[in-house]
Amino acid sequence: MEKQRKDKGDSMNVKQEAVRLRIYLGEDKRDGGLPLYQAIVAKARRLRCAGATVVRGTEGFGHSTRLHTSDVLFSEDLPVQIEIIDSAQKVDELIAALDQVGEIGLITYERVTVLRC
């Protein structure tokens, strides 16, 4: 990630340009014996991405417009979002590794500015 120094008087020391990757899928999706979200996080970790966060939703719908909700007892297909922020090079590497993975609902890719104290 490209670093830029700010003035000494500012509380934020470093600005970095990065990319945010968001992957949306259902928690019931699998890759081999693992839940797909765990397999994706493992791939990101093997590629030494800066980090990954998995967020489980309580309600949502996708392309099929079928509602998935935690209000249904024993719901096994709640929405899951994986978020990864890193350099464009690392994120592009991960995307290439995900080309062989099916059942991902949606992927978004956007440039962000990261501020570090």
Q: Domain spans of the chain?
A: 2-7+14-116
Read off the pLDDT of each residue in 72-86 and give the average, rounded to a whole number.
Answer: 81
The percent of residues above 70 in pLDDT, for the chain, comes to 75
- pLDDT tens digits, one per residue of 33-73: 899 999 999 999 999 999 999 998 877 766 666 666 665 65
Contact 112, 66 (CB under 8 A): no
Confidence class of residue 111 from pLDDT cuts 50, 70 and 90?
A: very high
Whole-model pTM: value is 0.78
103 compared with 38, residue with greater pLDDT: 38
Is 3.30.70.120 the CATH number for 2-7+14-116? yes
Contact 40, 82 (CB under 8 A): yes
pLDDT higher than 90, residue 8: no
Contact 23, 81 (CB under 8 A): yes
117 compared with 45, residue with greater pLDDT: 45
